[in-house]
Structure formats: structure tokens, C-alpha cells
Structure 1
Amino acid sequence: MRVCNYLELEAHLVRSGIGTSVSHQRKALADRTDVDLLVSPWRGGTPASALQHALVGDGAFADFDLAHCNVVGPGSVAVARHARREGVPLVLHAHVTREDFAESFRGSTRVGPALERYLRWFYSQADLVLCPSEYTRGVLDSYPVDAPIRAISNGVDTASLAGFESFREDYRERFDLEGTVVFAVGNVFERKGLTDFCRLAEETDYDFAWFGPYDTGPQASPTVRRWTTDPPENVTFTGWVDDKRGAFAAGDVFCFPAKVENQGLVVLEAMACGKAVVLRDLPVFREFYTDGEDCLLCDSREEFREALSRLAADPDLRDRLGENARETAAAHSLDRVGSELVRAYEDVTAGRAGR
């Protein structure tokens, strides 16, 4: 089976959770399955070359047996229309919802109603919609999306984290971090709990570090601009780091007070590194994790403060949570991702996607 696994605007999304998820899909399919993987739907590999082929009658699209699109832009709409016209099975991956787009960029919350209508239309074209969690499946059902929906974990690439421990001294020295370091990883958005992260720092004595890029230009939200340009004294915003292993090495307690997540890839990465994780008590996290066993779940900033205090004072608790977290992360292997993707493709091709 030749599958086109397409990530529109790939160069711009490579540093995002969507980009990481697609990287996991492709690695799982290429290394662990017999799928013949194509990453561009365009004949010749680019939209420009596709246009040239179309003008001479060759057709704009490459040959593939199934289309799997990961974002929702005009290129993906064109692929979806081509698939419907040619009778090619179509899988759309719901990495984007109205809920998780809110509080990301300037104006992202205000466009929510229009975005929900668009997503309902776009995802409803699919023969099968994939999403990272049962929580997200429930969100899509509420729109409602008129297509079968199946949850498949984004997975975690443990090989990409191998040897992270060796980066600890370098990254702590580089960013002037000492003692118990409370940390987060990923793009800096208010949706990911930025204000609570900074307020927790103001209310405690630990070093806090957020490893990941942030915008301060016109597209940035006022909240992100405020905190990153004038952070609390014990908070470091590192910007993009050249190796994510350094982030997981430098930090001791992964603190993620996100307001909305479809799964939270960085949580799985922190767990794969054996870090104690402290999370907001969200339905999506309860779907995958167990409070007091492989994480600590918190409802309020007071509970976050108490959790950080317990972990800083009790190395045995940190170690126990971390070891259990490793086992949890192992259940989200790329082997599993690959086998579940192949099963989804086979079901779509055989017309049984809704079963």
C-alpha cells in the first residue's frame, strides 16, 4: 500500500507538536511496517512542479493508494478533494481543534466559532478521522464531525531521547540553573499554562525554566509578550534549544499546568526520561495517567505549590513517580503507533473504518 502522509507547511511546523507527531507517524511506518511511504502529494514533489505537470496534462498529484493529511490548510483541502474525486481513501488527522487553538496566538480565541465550523466541514470529508485521545474524539463528536473517528496515541520516540543524561551539566551551566529545577518544554503559549507557571515561580524559591521558542512580534499574544519580556527573577525562557535532550536533562520536575491538550507529547517525553511530572487535572491526562502513581494531578495553584514542595523534599517520591512514568511511556511506543496506523489504513481501504 502506497500512503501519502502529508504535512502541509512542514517547514514551519517542524518545531511544533504537530510536526513531532507526524515525525513519529513516518518513523513508525517507515521502520516498522511494509507501507510504501510518500510525504508529498504533489507530482514532482512541490506545488510549483505539480502546477507545471498539470499544465501539460500529467496531473498535479502523485500516485498513492491512500491519503493521510495532518493539517487543515488549503493544500490539505486540495488533497482531500482529489481523494474524493478519484475514490482514494482519505484519512484526516485531527491535531487541531477549536479548544486547543485558543490562547495560542493573538486573536486565536476570537476566531474560535468560525474555526469550529470550518473544522466540522473539513474533518467530515474523511473516510476516517484520527485523533490523539478519546478526549479529543469527544470534542469532535460535540461539533459534530460526520465521519468515523478513532483515537491513536501520538506515541513517544524514546530513541530520540537516548543519552539525555549526558547533557545535564552543560545545559544547567548554560542557563544558570541550580538546585531543584522546575521545567516545561515546548512552544510558549498561555494555553499551556504560562501565567500559572510564572505565578508558581513567584510563589516559590526554585529555579524555573521553559525550554522552547516564543514569539514577541505582532502575532504573539499580549500574555506571552508580557511574561517573556519581563519574567520573574527565577524564571528562564530559553528560546529554541538545539537538542531537546538538554531540556529533559537539566530539569528535575516537569511542571505542565496546561489548560487544554489533545494528548501532550512533551508529557510522554518527560515520562520516558523518568522525570516526575506535575500536571493540571484534565480529563485527557486522567485518560492516560494515574495520580500518585506516575504523576501528580493538581486543580489549583495551591495544589501545584504543594506538589512541587513534596517532590523537592522527597527524592524517593520523585524516583518512584519517575520509574512508573517510564513504564507508562513505554506503552506509547512507535511500534504500537505503526501497527495501529496500518490497521486504520487497512480498515479504511476495506470500507470498515466505522467498526
Structure 2
Amino acid sequence: MAVKRDALVRLLLLTVVARGASGAKVPAMFVFGDSTADVGNNDYLPGSSARANFPHNGVDFPGGKPTGRFSNGLIGVDFLAFSMGFKKSPPPYLSLVANAANSSSSSSSIEVTRNVTKAAASYMTGANFASGGSGVLDSTGTTINMTKQIEYFSDLKDQMKTRLNANRVSVLLSKSIFLISAGGNDAFDFFSQNKSPDYTGVQQFTEAVISTYDSHVKTLYNLGARKFAVIDVPLIGCCPYWRSQNPTGECIEPLNQLAKSLNDGIRDLFTNLRSEMQRMKYSIASSYELVSSLIENPEVAGFEEVKSACCGGGRLNAEEGCTPKSSCCSDRGKYLFWDLLHPTQATSKFAGLAFYDGLAQFVSPITFKQLVEA
């Protein structure tokens, strides 16, 4: 479509003139969600199968080492953090807990808590609670679900109050960005069990996810959050894995429609919440729309491959995950997808700009930049 191509061309021009931010524009950034936002929390979960702390992951990350990011390098939250003026993305919260425990000479829970409190000073500019494999629903995945992520944030807030008085913490949180990127795994789980869902089934599933999403947002609001940056559910039916499961190699449209149903629900939810919750502001970035645009017009972003994964194995290099033994492309900047489900660093960089200061097609009702400056 010409409209999508024109939007991408305009966005590409913005990438040429974009400059690095100077100084943080908000006090802190707190991140919640799944593998699309996980920067290494799952490295601290021995029983989790949703991990990326091994090659070829991280091959293009500074230093060339895997970090727990499901990517060849940086991910979207990293680029968003840079745009907000931070020198680096908020660190994984579980690294704080692990470092505090390791530095303790005693197994006493009191001693560990004290060490966590001391370490919290370095987390005053935010923390990342996202966990690969998690979902909005507590029943999704086997990792740290959203409920637990918010409990961790509540713990961190208590630790912050040991360094600042309650009023200063309240002010800091009200000006900070709370980023949520979740919902894809919920759709995956539902679709895996319902390959041909009827209208009633989709409606009931969507209502359950949105109702739980509503509860999560309200809990964060009650804990002090006021600025919500939301990334919607991607065009998941077009991920290499799902294409590999289709004999034609094309997208799984029922799964895309499921994602669209969730996204419509998320937009309606925040429209309603804005009228319910005083001083709440929000911005919703459409990963769904961005990926759709890049698939239709890949050449605008310099991509040549939008169906196959760069790292993996099997059909479309996507029937298997990315491991040290996997086939890995050398021209990673030309691929839309890194592995069977996740974008490349090049895609994430493009998305980060689109969401931070892009067109209404990709982020609305205001941009992340306008949310930051509000």
C-alpha cells in the first residue's frame, strides 16, 4: 500500500537526521512484559527454557557477548531508553537480587534484603522486570508472569523509600515511564490449543486478557505510575516459526486476527482508563502495524528477507530456535527476523524510532516523546 510505503520513507528520513539524546528526560524507566522486552532476567531463572544467554545471541551486541536478549544485539527497549536520554537500558531486576545475595556473607534473608537496599541506589533510574515466556494472564508461560513482575516492582519501590522519603519517591514515579510489552505469548498459548477458534472462543479469550491487563495497569497506577508507554501485540502470525508451520509458507491469518482483537481491546481499555484515573497519560505503539509495513515494503528499511529467520534451523530456518549450533546469516542487517519469533537489532532500531517520535500510524494518541515531555 502506498500509504504504508510513504510512512516508512518518512520514518527512514527521520533516522538519518536523528541525534542522540543529551541527558535523561525522565527520572526513570520501568519495563514489564515478555521476551520482546527481556534484557536478561531469565538468565537468573535456572528452570526456564526461555533463555538467550548463549551464542549466536548477542553477536552484534557491544562486546559480542550474549546478554539474555533474544536478539543479535540491542532490542527495542534499549533504543527507546537511548531516545529518552539514558546512557543504557534499565538493567534486569533479578540481577540486583542475585548480586545482593552473592555479596552477602550470610544466608540471612535480612542481610540479603539490606544488600538489595544498598544496591537499589543504582536502580534509581529504573529497572527491567520483563521475562521471556511470560504473558498478561497468570496461566501463560512458566516464567515470571506480570503479577510477579509487579510484585517485584512493589518491592523495589519499598527499597527506594529507604533512600528517599515517600513523597520524593511518589514524585519520581509519577514522572517516570512505565513500559509494557506483553500479550503475544497469551495469543500463542490460546492458538496452540485452538487452531480454528470460533467467535465466542476468541471473544472470551480477549475479554479475559483485557480484564487482567486492566487489573495490572490499575495496580501499577496505585503504586504510583502515571505515564504508560504500551507496545501492542505484534503481527505474530507472520513470525518465521508460524510461517514454517504453514504448508504455503505464508502468514497464519487467524493468529494475526487474534492479535488484532487483543490490540483493539488494549486501545479501548486505555481510552476508558484515561477517564477513570486522574493524571494518567498513555501512548500505544503499534508493533503490529510496523511489522506489517516492513513486510509489505522491506526495501525501504534495507531489508531483503522478511520470511526466514537469520538464526535457527529447519524450514525457513525457523522450526528450531537459535543455538550455538544453529545456522546464522552473515548479513543480519538485511533480515527482519533474528530467530523464529524475534526481530533483529536492525528492526528493533527502526521500531524504536517509530515508537518514540514517529507517525500516528505507528504510535498514538501521542508519541512516546510527547509522553516523556508531558
Band of TM-score, shorter chain: 0.3 to 0.5
Question: What TM-score comes out, normalization by structure 2 length?
Answer: 0.39
Structure ID, larger Rg: 1
Tell me which protein shows more strand as a share of its residues: 1
